[in-house]
């Protein structure tokens, strides 16, 4: 609910109180409707509630991932665009390095307010990335049972990792989607979804009509395979699909009962990556980056974990590392190496 909506609802309720004894004019009917809607909003389950201003200092982890050709003394990386994506919406970032102990991951989980699984080329079956993703995914599910909402976002490889963690068996298929920007084919669930319901109509229209979403993946989950998996259909709500001309695949999803979200496309690239000619840097493309980031950081604001000590927080933050200019062959502008 926007501030304006809230003020209106509040004023409406007050008016109702003071005029209950008077006749039921059309206005009072309207006011009553406002109050009832407010009550309905207040009664929605935890996942849908807006806990305004609960955490204004959200800290979000980004998974580092294994390098196929590591520079000397380095083992993993994070593309800087994911860091900028979250920072642009008011979050601070902690790199989650691969091959830490379970205990170290648990301590980070208890200290942070969400985690992002970025895109890339690591194995989703066996890698440092896969191991840390699995640990955070399981901790998030377990936390939800205690009423502790710990949001997870998966982009591209991250979405594929989420699907595999949920389903246990990979249902991915090769698609011709390596280098293309596409409009989203929204499902009828999109408009009322947690992810998109507060998006401006102008941006939703642009998303549906213009090729704003950058796709650079060789694998996708066909809708036909998704539909056949009871595990997936009962866990995830599909918000959009796309097609490579032959195969219709899942492109945006949110979990029904968990604060878990994924896009097969890259919302961070419109504002922050310049290496591919088909990335849309138009004003609406760039707004897409910020609205997606704001949504996920908003989810993290509902989480109240924090570091036990300022020192520990300070040492964990990405500010202790510097990104470097990526090589000419890279798809990224800047990379953090660990």
Ligand X SMILES: *[C@@H]1O[C@H](CO)[C@@H](O)[C@H](O)[C@H]1NC(C)=O
* Beta-strand runs (E) in 184-235: 185-186, 213-220
Q: Which is nearer to ligand X, 49 or 233 (CB)?
A: 233
Contact between 176 and ligand X by CB under 6 A: the answer reads yes
**Distance between CA atoms of residues 98 and 15, nearest Å:** 57
14 catalytic? Reply is no
Shortest distance (Å) from residue 132 CB to ligand X: 9
Stretch that binds ligand X, among 29-37, 67-75, 297-305, 327-335 (CB under 6 A): 67-75
Shortest distance (Å) from residue 256 CB to ligand X: 14
In the numeric block, the tokens 């974990």 are attached to 305
Nearest to 330 by CA among 120, 157, 188, 128: 120
Shortest distance (Å) from residue 311 CB to ligand X: 25
Contact between 133 and ligand X by CB under 6 A: the answer reads no
Contact between 128 and ligand X by CB under 6 A: the answer reads yes
**Distance between CA atoms of residues 51 and 103, nearest Å:** 30
| CA quadruple 106, 112, 116, 121: dihedral sign | negative
- Per CB under 6 A, contacts with ligand X among 93-122 are 98-99
Q: Which is nearer to ligand X, 31 or 67 (CB)?
A: 67
Cα-to-chain-centroid distance, residue 135: 18
Contact between 253 and ligand X by CB under 6 A: the answer reads no
Q: Specify whether the backbone of 73 is left (phi greater than 0), alpha (psi in -120 to 50) or beta.
A: left
**Distance between CA atoms of residues 137 and 192, nearest Å:** 25
Q: How many helices (H) and strands (E) does the chain have?
A: 12, 14
266 catalytic? Reply is yes
Size of the site for ligand X (CB under 6 A): 13
Q: Which is nearer to ligand X, 241 or 303 (CB)?
A: 241
Given the residues 34, 156, 217, 305, the one annotated as active site: 156
- DSSP 8-state assignment for residue 47: G
Contact between 28 and ligand X by CB under 6 A: the answer reads no
- Per CB under 6 A, contacts with ligand X among 196-225 are 223-224
Question: Are 82 and 92 spatial neighbours (Cβ–Cβ below 8 Å)?
Answer: no
Contact pick of 131, 134, 194, 306 for ligand X (by CB under 6 A): 131
Contact between 227 and ligand X by CB under 6 A: the answer reads yes
The residues assigned a catalytic role are 156, 266
Binding positions for ligand X, rule: CB under 6 A: 72-73, 75, 98-99, 128, 131, 176, 180, 223-224, 227, 248
């Amino acid at each position: 609910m926007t501030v304006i909506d809230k003020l209106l609802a509040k004023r409406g309720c007050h008016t109702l109180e003071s005029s209950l004894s008077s006749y039921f004019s059309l206005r009072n009917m309207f006011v009553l409707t406002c109050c009832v809607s407010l009550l309905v909003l207040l009664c929605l389950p935890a996942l849908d509630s807006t806990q305004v201003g609960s955490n204004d200092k959200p800290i979000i982890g980004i998974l580092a991932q294994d390098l196929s050709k590591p520079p000397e003394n380095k083992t993993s990386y994070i593309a800087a665009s994911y860091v900028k994506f979250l920072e642009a919406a008011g979050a601070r970032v902690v790199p989650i390095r691969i091959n830490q102990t379970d205990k170290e991951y648990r301590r980070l989980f208890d200290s942070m307010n969400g985690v992002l699984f970025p895109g890339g080329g690591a194995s989703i079956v066996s890698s440092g990335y896969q191991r840390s993703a699995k640990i955070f995914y399981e901790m998030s599910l377990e936390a939800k049972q205690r009423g502790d909402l710990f949001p997870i976002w998966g982009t591209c490889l991250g979405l594929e990792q989420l699907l595999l963690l949920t389903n246990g068996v990979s249902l991915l298929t090769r698609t011709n989607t390596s280098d293309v920007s596409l409009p989203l084919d929204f499902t009828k669930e999109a408009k009322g979804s947690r992810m998109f319901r507060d998006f401006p109509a102008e941006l939703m229209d642009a998303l549906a009509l213009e090729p704003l979403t950058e796709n650079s993946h060789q694998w996708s989950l066909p809708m036909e395979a998704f539909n056949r998996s009871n595990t997936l259909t009962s866990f995830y709500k599909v918000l959009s699909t796309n097609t490579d001309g032959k195969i219709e695949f899942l492109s945006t999803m949110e979990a029904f009962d968990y604060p878990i979200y994924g896009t097969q496309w890259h919302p961070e690239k419109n504002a922050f990556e310049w290496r591919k000619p088909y990335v849309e840097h138009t004003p609406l493309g760039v707004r897409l980056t910020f609205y997606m980031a704001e949504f996920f950081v908003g989810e993290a604001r509902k989480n109240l974990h924090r570091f036990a000590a300022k020192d520990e927080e300070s040492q964990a933050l990405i500010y202790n590392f510097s990104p470097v200019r990526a090589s000419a062959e890279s798809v990224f502008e800047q990379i953090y190496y660990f």
